[in-house]
């Protein structure tokens, strides 16, 4: 999805809205459900809000309210990635945090804007429309087997790396994301965030707004929902097609780890694509 351009100090809200591709119009063609169409209208408005909150932009509070009312996003696991994603998602979606250590999670939640709710893991799963699995791959696999995830959007951020960080444990003919999808066939798995280091979430959003977060998934509406969250979190979205693209994205994540650690380039490095 192309971003509306921002020229100089001023940002024309009406022009920006006019430039948004009509997800809702596409939904009318592809889906018959009225609620699905309403949902996509709300997503489209949320996309607008992301741009309108940029410096020099305008704020449409009614749309902002609508967006936070629409989706509950749970982050499961509050390690480096979980905390980083929570920092960028706070205030952009109705956010719920869950981990094995609720006291530590409550203390962390208190540092975030818009007061995310802290729940135990089963309660967070029950409430959420979107669940970000900020867990090691092995724990993510256990998680999908333990919980009722039918219809939920499951965001897989994992790189299935070996304990010594030297390579991937699976690949070529499958991927971590596909393994999670086959363990939970009624969930809607979307791969995201696996090619960026957690340290990027601590940068100001303005520094990462052109940094791609690659998405892959079989369910178009689920990918669209994650796309809006990623954009609202201050990253560029690069859609890579169906979930089997995770077979390519996970080695890309591994290559980034090699650059960042093995080759000493540091954790502010991230892959991006160029058209020349
Ligand atoms: N770090 C990065 O830069 C980076 C970049 C891209 C992708 N990733 C991927 O992101 C995922 C998370 O990485 P991370 O760096 O955030 O790891 P991390 O800092 O070690 O955090 C992992 C979290 O998972 C929780 N956890 C582990 N096993 C669990 C279980 N069985 N049930 C519930 N919670 C469990 C841990 O909870 P406790 O605190 O209770 O142990 C911890 O909070 C991994 O799949 C990784 O491959 C990481």
Interval 158-195: pLDDT, tens: 999 999 999 999 999 999 999 999 999 999 999 999 99
| pLDDT, position 10 | 26
The answer to whether residue 271 is domain-embedded is no
| pLDDT, position 64 | 38
Please check whether residues 57 and 141 belong to one and the same domain.
Answer: no
Q: 20-25: list long-range contacts, CB under 8 Å, 24+ apart.
A: 20/44, 20/47, 20/48, 23/47, 23/224
> How far, in Å, CA of 157 to CA of 70, rounded?
23
Please check whether residues 36 and 82 belong to one and the same domain.
Answer: no
Tens digits of residue pLDDT in 64-114: 334 444 799 999 999 999 999 999 999 999 999 999 999 999 999 999 999
Q: Answer yes or no: are the C-beta atoms of 88 and 234 closer than 8 Å.
A: yes
Q: Answer yes or no: are the C-beta atoms of 114 and 123 closer than 8 Å.
A: no
Of 134 and 49, the one with more pLDDT: 134
Q: How far is the centre of ligand 1, averaged over its atoms, from the C-alpha of 78 (Å)? A: 7
Q: How far is the centre of ligand 1, averaged over its atoms, from the C-alpha of 210 (Å)? A: 25
Q: Match 């010594």 to its residue by tokens.
A: 164
The answer to whether residue 249 is domain-embedded is yes
Please check whether residues 54 and 154 belong to one and the same domain.
Answer: no
Tens digits of residue pLDDT in 22-44: 443 333 333 333 333 333 333 43
Model confidence band, residue 262 (pLDDT cutoffs 50, 70, 90) = very high
Nearest CA to 226 among 66, 84, 47?
47
Sheet with 236-239, strands from edge to edge, namely 117-118, 94-98, 72-76, 130-133, 153-156, 188-191, 212-217, 236-239
The answer to whether residue 4 is domain-embedded is no
Q: How far is the centre of ligand 1, averaged over its atoms, from the C-alpha of 65 (Å)? A: 31
Query: What are 174's two structure tokens?
Result: 């499958």
Q: How far is the centre of ligand 1, averaged over its atoms, from the C-alpha of 139 (Å)? A: 8
The residue out of 55, 70, 85 marking a domain boundary is 70
The answer to whether residue 81 is domain-embedded is yes
Specify the ligand 1 atom closest to the Cα of 84: 16
Please check whether residues 230 and 183 belong to one and the same domain.
Answer: yes
Query: What DSSP element (H or E) covers 181?
Result: helix 176-183
Please check whether residues 258 and 233 belong to one and the same domain.
Answer: yes
Ligand 1 binding site (Cβ under 6 Å of any ligand atom): 77-82, 99-101, 134-137, 139, 142, 157-159, 194, 197-198, 253
Please check whether residues 18 and 138 belong to one and the same domain.
Answer: no
| pLDDT, position 98 | 98
Please check whether residues 214 and 94 belong to one and the same domain.
Answer: yes
Please check whether residues 76 and 30 belong to one and the same domain.
Answer: no
Please check whether residues 63 and 155 belong to one and the same domain.
Answer: no
Please check whether residues 21 and 48 belong to one and the same domain.
Answer: yes
The number of folded domains in the chain is: 2
Give the domain extent around 29.
Answer: 11-70
Query: What are 37's two structure tokens?
Result: 């169409």
The answer to whether residue 3 is domain-embedded is no
Asked whether residue 61 carries a pLDDT value surpassing 60, the answer given is no
Nearest CA to ligand 1 atom 48: 81
Burial 233-255 (b: 16+ CB within 10 A, else e): bbbbbbbbeebbbbbbbbbbbbe
Please check whether residues 84 and 174 belong to one and the same domain.
Answer: yes
> How far, in Å, CA of 36 to CA of 45, rounded?
14
Q: Please state the pTM of the whole predicted model.
A: 0.81
């Amino acid at each position: 999805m192309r971003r509306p351009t921002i020229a100089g100090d001023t940002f024309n809200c009406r022009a920006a809205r006019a430039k948004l591709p009509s997800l809702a119009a596409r939904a009318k063609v592809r889906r018959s459900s009225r609620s699905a169409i309403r949902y996509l209208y709300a997503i489209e408005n949320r996309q607008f809000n992301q741009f309108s909150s940029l410096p020099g932009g305008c704020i449409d509070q009614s749309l902002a309210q609508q967006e936070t009312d629409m989706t509950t996003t749970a982050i499961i696991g509050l390690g480096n990635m979980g905390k980083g994603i929570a920092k960028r998602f706070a205030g952009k979606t109705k956010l719920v945090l869950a981990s094995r250590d609720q006291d530590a999670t409550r203390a962390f939640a208190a540092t975030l804007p818009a007061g995310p709710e802290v729940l135990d893991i089963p309660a967070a799963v029950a409430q959420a429309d979107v669940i970000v699995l900020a867990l090691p791959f092995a724990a993510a696999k256990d998680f999908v087997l333990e919980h009722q995830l039918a219809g939920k959007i499951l965001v897989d951020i994992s790189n299935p790396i070996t304990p010594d960080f030297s390579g991937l444990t699976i690949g070529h003919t499958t991927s971590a994301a596909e393994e999670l999808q086959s363990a939970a066939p009624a969930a809607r798995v979307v791969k995201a965030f696996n090619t960026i280091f957690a340290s990027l979430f601590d940068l100001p959003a303005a520094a990462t707004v052109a940094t791609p977060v690659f998405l892959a998934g079989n369910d178009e509406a689920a990918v669209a929902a994650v796309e809006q969250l990623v954009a609202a979190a201050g990253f560029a979205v690069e859609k890579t097609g169906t979930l089997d693209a995770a077979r390519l994205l996970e080695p890309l994540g591994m290559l980034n780890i090699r650059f960042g650690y093995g080759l000493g380039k540091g954790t502010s490095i991230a892959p991006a694509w160029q058209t020349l």
